[in-house]
């Protein structure tokens, strides 16, 4: 194996023997509660029997088929997704994952508008293929940056580390919108095909935008004929306690919405783009110049149909919303009150971040931005302490995210928060 994002000789991947629900275990008998949902994709946990059965059934009847044909699983998956996406996002283009969804969404936007540039935010992740990594606003872009990509980055709102020196959400929203408006003016509105944003930025820190921000971006896009792409690869399919994160922001409907991960809990690779009527119309009589051999793969689509039905039948989205509000939010705020290393708690549904700091007053991160080796030791110590307590934590830079499966049971969730409590002692030890 050649592993992603790693120096090959410096890693020792855990050998996993099995997984079920919110847990997985190794060959040594260690069992872990998965507070990461894999890479935030097992929204209904591992090995849901109904989804496993649907994949088996599909494999027995039609394992694969080329993308140009109409198939039951493919059409049904598209119907179930389109029924849930907001507004008139009623055409579904299938990909194998999130990055390909972003590639195709930006291609659609460029062809629809005839304009070259795409604006995206710092503190974002959009995938690791060419366009997607260039759109990304974190250090994973740096080694793959191609100056010709036509991407311009801007600052999105993030009050805790405000790029605008704001003191409250209203200021942050106004100033972030003014900054975006200025960026558009100076780049030239007629050169901008799309603005892409994670509705709620995920890996970059789970920062729900302040009220009014997305509506303001929608208005700027409308004013200048710019396509609004919302990337819901991580935030979609129940993660935030609604089917899509954009459902929290009344009246906001993007022109394109990218998805992957939770659409079938990651059981078989699947992603896609939900497309508005106007953009679909652009390609009604003119061929869309893009495609993938495995677009709408029957196994992946059968898994999506089963997952979406399970989520509806078992009330998974409502469950995530309730546990987020009643258990995770209050539980994490209680941890913040006792642990000096916790600078901020933020999130919604099953999508939460703890910002770990050396100093609450200055908000100095527990480890420097993009730290490696010795400089990252405090976060490594926190991670090791969590694992020693049977909790597999999500860690990115100076943050830990609480992103378990959306159908985690309340007792498991509480056990995870208790393990987190103990692990945070290791972070407290590094507070200045």
| Binding footprint of ligand PLP on the chain (CB under 6 A) | 39, 97-99, 102, 125-127, 198, 202-203, 231, 233-234, 260, 271
- Helix or strand holding residue 76 (H, E): helix 72-84
Within 13 A of 13's CA, how many CA atoms are on the CB side?
Answer: 11
Closest C-alpha to 205, from 401, 365, 348, 39: 401
- Is 214 within 8 Å of 177 (Cβ atoms)? no
Residue 407: CB atoms within 10 A of its CB come to 24
Shortest spacing between CB 389 and ligand PLP, in angstroms: 26
Shortest spacing between CB 198 and ligand PLP, in angstroms: 5
Q: In what order do the strands lie in the sheet with 271-275?
A: 91-95, 271-275, 256-259, 227-231, 192-198, 117-121, 151-154
- Is 229 within 8 Å of 196 (Cβ atoms)? yes
Closest to ligand PLP by CB, 220 or 234: 234
Closest to ligand PLP by CB, 105 or 184: 105
Shortest spacing between CB 25 and ligand PLP, in angstroms: 24
Cα–Cα distance measured from residue 251 to residue 274, given in angstroms and rounded to the nearest whole number? 17
Instruction: Report H helices in 188-297.
Output: 213-224, 277-282
What residues pair up with 271 in beta bridges, in sequence order?
A: 95
Closest to ligand PLP by CB, 94 or 125: 125
Shortest spacing between CB 107 and ligand PLP, in angstroms: 15
For the record, the structure tokens of 5 come out as 């994002």
Closest to ligand PLP by CB, 235 or 417: 235
Shortest spacing between CB 140 and ligand PLP, in angstroms: 10
Closest C-alpha to 76, from 94, 53, 88: 94
Shortest spacing between CB 415 and ligand PLP, in angstroms: 26
Residue 4: CB atoms within 10 A of its CB come to 7
Shortest spacing between CB 154 and ligand PLP, in angstroms: 17
Closest to ligand PLP by CB, 192 or 234: 234
Q: Is 9 exposed, middle or buried (0-12, 13-18, 19+ CB in 10 A)?
A: exposed
Closest to ligand PLP by CB, 98 or 324: 98
For the record, the structure tokens of 96 come out as 């194998």
- Is 184 within 8 Å of 175 (Cβ atoms)? no
Closest to ligand PLP by CB, 124 or 407: 124
Shortest spacing between CB 327 and ligand PLP, in angstroms: 24
Closest to ligand PLP by CB, 21 or 262: 262
Shortest spacing between CB 94 and ligand PLP, in angstroms: 13
Task: State which residue has the least CB distance to ligand PLP.
Answer: 98
Shortest spacing between CB 370 and ligand PLP, in angstroms: 17
Maximum pairwise Cα distance, the chain: 64
∠ Cα 50 53 55 (to 5°): 110
Closest to ligand PLP by CB, 94 or 417: 94
146 phi/psi in degrees, rounded to 5:
-120, 120
Cα–Cα distance measured from residue 430 to residue 374, given in angstroms and rounded to the nearest whole number? 13
Cα–Cα distance measured from residue 146 to residue 313, given in angstroms and rounded to the nearest whole number? 46
């Amino acid at each position: 194996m050649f592993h992603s994002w790693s120096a090959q000789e410096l890693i020792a991947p855990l050998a996993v023997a099995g997984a079920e629900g919110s847990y997985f275990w190794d060959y040594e008998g260690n069992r872990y509660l998965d507070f990461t949902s894999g890479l935030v994709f097992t929204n209904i946990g591992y090995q849901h029997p109904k989804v496993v059965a649907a994949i088996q059934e599909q494999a027995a009847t039609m394992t694969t088929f080329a993308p140009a044909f109409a198939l039951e699983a493919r059409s049904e998956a598209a119907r179930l997704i389109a029924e849930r996406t907001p507004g008139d996002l009623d055409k579904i283009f299938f990909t194998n994952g999130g990055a390909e969804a972003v590639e195709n969404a930006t291609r659609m936007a460029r062809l629809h508008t005839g304009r070259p540039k795409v604006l995206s935010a710092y503190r974002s992740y959009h995938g690791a293929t060419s366009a997607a990594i260039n759109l990304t606003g974190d250090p994973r872009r740096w080694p793959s940056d191609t100056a010709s990509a036509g991407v311009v980055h801007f600052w999105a709102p993030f009050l805790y580390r405000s790029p605008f020196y704001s003191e409250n959400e209203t200021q942050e929203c106004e100033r972030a919108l003014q900054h975006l408006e200025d960026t558009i003016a100076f780049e030239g509105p007629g050169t901008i095909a799309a603005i892409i944003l994670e509705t709620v930025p995920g890996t970059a820190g789970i920062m729900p935008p302040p009220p009014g921000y997305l509506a303001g971006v929608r208005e700027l896009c409308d004013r200048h004929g710019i396509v609004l792409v919302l990337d819901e690869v991580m935030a979609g399919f129940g993660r935030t306690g609604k089917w899509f994160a954009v459902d929290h922001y009344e009246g906001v409907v993007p022109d394109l919405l990218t998805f992957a991960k939770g659409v079938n809990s990651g059981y078989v690779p699947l992603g896609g783009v939900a497309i508005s009527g106007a953009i679909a119309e652009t390609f009604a009589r003119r061929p869309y110049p893009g495609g993938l051999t495995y677009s709408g793969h029957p196994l992946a689509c059968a898994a999506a149909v089963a997952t979406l039905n399970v989520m509806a039948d078992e009330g998974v989205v409502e469950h995530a919303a309730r546990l987020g509000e009643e258990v995770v939010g209050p539980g994490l705020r209680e941890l913040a009150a006792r642990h000096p290393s916790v600078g901020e708690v933020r999130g919604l549904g099953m999508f939460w971040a703890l910002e770990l700091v050396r100093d609450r007053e200055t908000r100095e991160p527990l480890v420097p931005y993009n730290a490696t080796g010795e400089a990252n030791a405090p976060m490594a110590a926190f991670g090791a302490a969590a694992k020693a307590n049977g909790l597999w934590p999500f860690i990115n830079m100076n943050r830990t995210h609480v992103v378990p499966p959306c159908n985690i049971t309340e007792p498991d969730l509480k056990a995870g928060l208790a393990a987190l409590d103990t692990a945070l002692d290791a972070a407290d030890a590094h507070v200045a």
